[in-house]
Each structure stands twice: as structure tokens, then as C-alpha cells.
Amino acid sequence: MLKRFWSWFWFIVGATYFLVPLYATFDFSLRARRGELSFAAYANVLNDIKFVESFWFSFQTALATIVISALVIVPTAYWVQLRLPRLRPVIEFFTLLPFVVPAVVLVFSLARTYSRTPLTDSREGLWVLLVGSYVILSFPYMYRAVDTGLRAINIHDLTEAAQSLGAGWFTILAQVIFPNVYTALLSGAFITFAIVMGEFTIAALLAQPAFGPYMNRLASSRVYEPSALAIISFALTWAAIAAIQRIGQGAQARVAGPR
Amino acid sequence: MAFLELINIHKSFGASVAVENFNLAVERGEFVSFLGPSGCGKTTTLRMIAGFEKPTAGRIIIDGVDVTDTPPNRRNIGMVFQSYALFPNMTVADNIGFGLKIARRPASEIRARVEELLRIIHMSEFGRRYPYQLSGGQQQRVALARALAIQPKLLLLDEPLSALDAKIRASLRQEIREIQRQLGITTIYVTHDQEEAMALSDRIVVMSRGRIEQIGTPFEVYNFPATRFVASFVGTLNLIQATVVDAAIGLVTVEGQLVRVARPLTQHRSGDAISLAIRPELIALNGQVNGEVNRLSGTVEDVTFLGSIVRVRLGLASNKLHFDLFNNPQLRPPQPGSSITVQFAPEACLVLGEEAASAHPISASAAQAA
Ligand SMILES: Nc1ncnc2c1ncn2[C@@H]1O[C@H](COP(=O)(O)OP(=O)(O)OP(=O)(O)O)[C@@H](O)[C@H]1O
Ligand SMILES: [Mg+2]
């Protein structure tokens, strides 16, 4: 009985911590018109073409980041576990660098390194730099997720089984490894998605029309709209994650179950 | 020429030698087991045949082609793992068809072949299931079917049954043997279970510490072990300390009781201490065998009921002797504490060389007895 009470108690404390600010933001966002509750602020946000553009821009950027990150991380984590297990701590350390190196430093070193190349003198080039930076930011989450996913399956025997059946490395990666770390990959992808959608520093420094800088600009020029935007982006991000999950569900169901 | 030839294979990992001086010729359709204790190099040798490890020295020839430098995915060898290693993301049917899909065979052919294999392993209704929905025994049958689907030149199995419980192990090993006979596929089977090796194999390769101790049929390996190691590793064995009385006529004494072995002890002289090895099933209660016999008397120390047989431990002054009786509900087995006499033929005595070196062969007298 008492145990039950305490679990509920902590659940409610946690939920309050999470929901009260959200509710306060929501409540505030409804007070754009004096003396009444209205969705005027929402209408203002949604009618702003910049909102749609920047959200769509960041959405695409996030997807590109996830795809590239997965293509880099999965083969790397796989190969390290299969053939270079002693390098695992080293690789893990490298993937954690984004926690150590501030985003400002990262973006300036990138800009310096690639200055006077096509990467820095065009909008598309800068976008490539942006995605590149985000891929690096995603490493800690993606690598850990994939590494754990790989540990849950016997990659040694699966690899050798596939090899003895005639499979080459590409086939093994595409048909055996990727499908089996798909679920793990998704969890890394969600975090990456959320980070990219809200990222400000790098996008601003590279002068990209991303959602983060847009939110920031709005916050400094308006009163009620930023709150409405926060609620909208919160809902949209969750919706996007739900959509990604739905797409991945088929594969997920197949790999699930005891092993 | 033999179908599979391993010529002077040698494999070391850094400074440690895993396999050395390994020579083996396997005929087409033969079922050969690698038998030996943990760490003796069975898996390493199998993995070299499969191509997952490269021999440090030596050649591997399959069907007349030197495959020593061929990568594993070009060798066309079926492999079955202890861990089953089924692809968790694929159905049973997709698992079995995987190799054929990679070989870009037409879909209709793949479907037909998968169905055929499902029938062979008696799992026709299971094609749509996923591996996690199968029992261990079923998973291993699927793994076998998957390995066979590509019609491999060789089938390699590395302790395929050791993760299963005893009952399934016995029935599945029979099934493996039947399928192997039916398809006539050349097979190498790794196990540390001697009973399994005996029940399955045309020939057994007994290994110890990276070397071959003996190659022979189960009958040969069991009855005529070539080395002390084989004698003690394969089957249970009574080792009795004895002293040579007259080497020329093969007369020894065991704690004062005279025992004759079938052949002269050419390598020994009177007064030498030797080890006699006797299989438990070759010892009987006194009075049950005609002809010339050895007799030993002692006290029954322990009686173990093992179902179809009853194993009795007989204590002499310092030696212990195990022997087996068939279970018979009409006959009371010997009672602990009672004094009894047992008998065995001179041919039942193997004389093991006194040197402890495992490579030292048993004296010729024993190897040619019986
Ligand atoms: N990749 C490796 N690196 C270093 N040493 C290895 C490697 N693989 C095997 N060995 C060593 O080679 C020897 C033979 O190993 P192997 O796996 O072939 O034994 P095994 O007969 O299959 O034993 P088990 O019955 O336990 O499976 C062992 O001493 C093992 O430690
Ligand atoms: Mg092994």
C-alpha cells in the first residue's frame, strides 16, 4: 500500500515538474487579446510564412542528419565490435567530443578548415556544413544506441553465417545488420531529431534559415507569439517523432521478442 | 584423391599455437567428427576450413581446388553454429532462402527449394514464423536447412547440439545423420561429447592440445586407442597399477594377484611398474565367462544404478575397479561391503606406456589385442 502511495507520489511530482511550465506557457499564449482567451497568437504564428519555411527547412535538415549519421555510425560500430573490439573505448571517446567541444568552437573550426572551398561560398555549401556539424552532434546518441543494439544480437555468428551463405560485406550490412539495429537506431534518431529542430548556435553562425534562429528572433520581438510557437513546435516535434516511429513499426515488430 | 584435404595445417595466434601439424583426408560423403577437450583447436580447425581463419601454414584442398586463400563467401560451405545464428529479422522461409537469394536464383526456384527443405526438417508449417517463435531444437533444424539450401560442397557443424537438452540432442543428432546420409553430403562435426561423436561418425579425429591424437572409426578409436590420451578421453577406463612379473609371457601382478595380458610386454622388464587399462564393460562377475580369464578379488565399495546398467566400484587394497552389470530385476546387485571376485579376459587389458606424454602410443600388445 505504502509502496504504491510513494510510486504515485513521485510520478505526480515528476509530471508536475514537466507539465506545469508547459501549461503556464500554454495559458500565457492564449492571452494575446486583453481580457479574453484566444488563439490569436497561434494564428499570427501560423500565418507567418517564415514559420512554415524554417520548420520545413529544419525538418529536412534533421532527416538528412539522421540518414547520414546512420550510414556512418552503423558500419563503424559494427566493424569496431567485429574486428577492433579494443578500439571501442577510443571510438566511444571520440563520439563524446561534442559534449566537450562547444558548438561555437566546432562551427568556427569547420568554417576555417573549409574556407575558400565551395562549402563556404554558397548557400548549399553552408547547408552541407550545417548537416555535417549536426551529424557530429548526433554521434554520442547514435553511437551509443547502435552499439547497444549490436550487442543485443550475436554479430559474430550472424556475420559468419551470412558469409558462409555467400554474402559480401554490403549485403551483410544492408540485409542483416541494419534491419536488426533498426529499433536501436530509431531511439538515437528521435533524440537527434529533437536536437536538430531546436538547434540555434550553429544554424545562426552559418546564417541558415533554420527553425532555431527563427524561434529566437521571434522571442526577442514579440510577447505572446513565442509561447504559442513553443507549444506548436512541441506538438509538431512529437508528431514528427510519432510519424517516424510509425514508419519504423513494421521492422520493429519483427525484431521484437525474446532472443 | 580425397574430397577434402588438410595438409600440414598450422595455426598460431600470436605466440600461442592453436593447431599444429594437422593432416586429414576426408572422402566424399563421409561424416567425420573432431573430438577433444575444450581448447584443443577443434573450432579453429573448422573455421580454417570455412575460411574464417587463415592457416599460418599449410593448404586446404576441397574437391581438387586449393581454397586456402579463398574468402569464406566464395567457398560454398554450409555452416551450422552452436548459437544457431538465425537472422532475427527474417522468417524461417527467408532464412532458409537467404543463400539462394544472394546467388540470385529465380524466386520460383527459391520457393520450391525452401519448401523441400522445410519438408526434410519436418517443419513445413513453420515457414512464416520468426526465429524467436521457435524452440531451440527447431531453430537449429532451420539453421541446418539454411546451410543445406545452397547445396554446399561441405557441411560444417560446430557443437550444434550443445545448447539443447539431452532428449532433443539425441533425437536431433539422429535426424542430422539421416539427412546427411540422404543427401550424401561430406560433413565435419565438432563436438566434445564422445558419445555424440561415436553415434554419428564414420570416422573420428581425436584431438588434444592442437594435435591429432588418432584418426579412426568409432570402433577403432574406442577399442584400440592409439595413445594414452585417447584411451582415457574416449569412454571410461579403469587404470590399475601393476608390476611386471614376466615380460615375455605378459604376466603381471596387481597387489599380489596374478594377471595375464594377451601379448608379451616387449617394452618392459620384470619388476617394472605399469598401468593396465580395462574398460568397465569388459569386466564381469566371476563365473560368467569360459576360457582363460584373469580374476581379481576385492570389496564392493559403491553401487550406482544407471538405468539399463549398474555400475559397481570394487576396492582392492589401493586400486579401484569400476565395472558394469546389466540391470536385471530378478538379480540383486552386489551389496556394498561384500567381498566378490570379478574376471576379465587377457585381451581386455590395455598396457599404457609408462611415460606420461600423451603422444606415446600404447604398446603394440594392447593395440593388436582382441
Ligand atoms: N581469435 C583467437 N585469438 C587468440 N587465441 C585464440 C583465438 N581463437 C582460438 N584461440 C585459442 O586457440 C585454442 C583453440 O581454440 P578452439 O576454439 O579451437 O578450441 P575448441 O577445441 O573449439 O574448444 P571448445 O570445445 O571449448 O570450443 C585455444 O587455446 C584458444 O584460446
Ligand atoms: Mg569450439
Q: Is A32:A26 a contact under the CB 8 Å cutoff?
A: no
Distance CA B153, CA B187 (A): 9
Residue of chain B minimizing CA distance to A165: B99
Q: What is the pLDDT of residue A251?
A: 52
Element (H, E) at B186: strand B186-191
**What is the B52 CA–ligand 1 centroid distance (Å)?**
13
Ligand 1 atom at minimal distance to the Cα of residue B44: 18
B173-203 pLDDT tens trace:
999 999 999 999 999 999 999 889 999 999 9
Instruction: Name the 3-class secondary structure at B340.
Output: strand
Per-residue pLDDT, B369: 35
Q: What is the pLDDT of residue B358?
A: 35
Measured from the Cβ of residue B123, the count of other Cβ atoms closer than 10 Å reads 18
Give the pLDDT score at B4: 95
- Nearest chain B residue to A155 by CA distance is B85
Please give the torsion angle defined by the CA atoms of residues B39, B40, B46 and B47, in that order, rounded to the nearest 10 degrees: 40
Q: What is the pLDDT of residues B85-142, one digit of tens each?
A: 999 999 999 999 999 999 999 999 999 999 999 999 999 999 999 999 999 999 999 9
C-alpha cell at A24: 503556464
Regarding the beta carbon of B35 and ligand 1, being less than 6 Å apart is answered: no
> Which one, of B71, B63, B73, lies nearest residue B186 by Cα?
B63
Cβ(B173) to ligand 1 under 6 A? no
Q: What is the pLDDT of residues A210-224, one digit of tens each?
A: 998 998 888 888 888
- Site from B44, B48, B102 to mutate, A interface, most A CB atoms within 10 angstroms: B102
Closest-CA residue in chain B for A171? B102
Starting at the edge strand found earlier in the chain, the sheet holding B257-260 runs B257-260, B251-254, B238-246, B273-278, B350-352
Q: Does residue B72 belong to the interface with chain A, where contact is any CB pair within 8 Å?
A: yes
Given a contact cutoff of 8 angstroms between Cβ atoms, the answer to whether B240 and B278 are in contact is yes
Return d(Cα B111, Cα B298) in angstroms, integer. Answer: 67
pLDDT digits (tens, 9 = 90+) for A216-253: 888 888 888 888 888 888 888 888 778 777 776 655 45
Count CB-CB contacts under 10 A for residue A26: 15
* C-beta atoms surrounding A37 within 10 Å: 11
* Model confidence band, residue B362 (pLDDT cutoffs 50, 70, 90): very low
Give the residue among A229, A161, A201 at the shortest CA–CA distance from B160: A161
What digits encode the pLDDT tens for the residues B17-67?
A: 999 999 999 999 999 999 999 999 999 999 999 999 999 999 999 999 999
Distance, CA of B117 to CA of B92 (rounded, Å): 11
Q: pLDDT value at position B52? A: 95
- B103 in contact with A at a CB cutoff of 8 Å? yes
Q: B residues 52-71 near A, CB within 8 Å?
A: 52, 71
Instruction: Give Cβ neighbours of residue B174 (< 8 Å, ≥ 6 apart).
Output: B199
Q: Looking at residues B237-264, what average pLDDT do you find?
A: 86
- B154-158 and B77-80 as β-strands: parallel, antiparallel, unpaired? parallel
Instruction: Indicate the average pLDDT of chain B.
Output: 88
Atom of ligand 1 nearest to the CA of B42: 21
Q: Which fold has domain A45-256?
A: MetI-like fold (1.10.3720)
User: Pick from B76, B79, B132: which is nearest to A161 by CB?
Assistant: B79
Considering only CB atoms, which chain A residues are within 8 Å of B85? 154, 157-158, 160-161
pLDDT band at residue A81 using 50, 70 and 90 as cut-offs? very high
| Residue in B73, B132, B146 nearest the CB of A258 | B132
Q: How far apart are CA B81 and CA B89, in angstroms?
A: 18
Q: Could you give the ipTM of this predicted complex?
A: 0.81
Q: Write out the three cell numbers for B120.
A: 526434410
Give B-chain residues touching A154 at CB under 8 angstroms. 83, 85
Specify the pTM: 0.82
Closest CA to B276 of B257, B303, B292, B299: B257
| Best residue for ligand 1 mutational test, from B12, B35, B42, B47 (most atoms within 8 Å of Cβ) | B42
| Strand B31-35 with B16-26, pairing | unpaired
Chain B interface includes A82 (CB < 8 A): no
Residue B58, CA distances (Å) to B55, B74, B359 in order: 6, 19, 22
Give the residue-averaged pLDDT of B65-76. 93
CA atoms within 13 A on the CB side of B217: 4
Q: Give tens-digit pLDDT for A46-75.
A: 888 888 899 999 999 999 999 999 999 999
Domains in chain A: boundaries: 45-256
Q: Which atom of ligand 1 is nearest to the CA of B53?
A: 1
Banded model confidence at residue B368, pLDDT cuts 50, 70, 90: very low
**CB–CB of B79 and A164 under 8 A?**
yes
Chain B residues in contact with A168 (beta carbon < 8 A)? 73
Task: Average the pLDDT over A93-112 and give the result.
Answer: 87
For residue A174, give the 3-state DSSP assignment: helix
Nearest CA to ligand 1 atom 11: B18
Q: Which DSSP state fits B28? A: T
Residue A176 contacts B, CB cutoff 8 Å:
yes
The confidence score (pLDDT) of residue B365 equals 36
Interface A-B: count of C-beta contacts within 8 A: 77
- For ligand 1, whether the C-beta of B40 sits within 6 Å is yes
Ion ligand 2, residues whose Cβ is below 5 A away:
B 43
Write down the pLDDT at residue A35.
80
Q: Tell the residue nearest (CA) to atom 4 of ligand 1.
A: B13
**Per residue in A141-157, pLDDT tens?**
999 999 999 999 999 99
Q: How many Cβ atoms from other residues are within 10 Å of residue B247's Cβ?
A: 18
Verify whether the Cβ–Cβ distance B83 to A157 is below 8 Å: yes
B98's grid cell: 537467404
Residue B208 β-bridge partners: B211
Side-chain half-sphere exposure of B169, counting CA atoms within 13 A: 15
Scan for cell 565435419, then name that residue.
B188
The residues near A61 (Cβ < 8 Å, ≥ 6 apart) are A127, A130, A131, A134, A196, A208, A210
Minimum distance, in Å, between the CA of residue B88 and any CA atom of chain A: 6
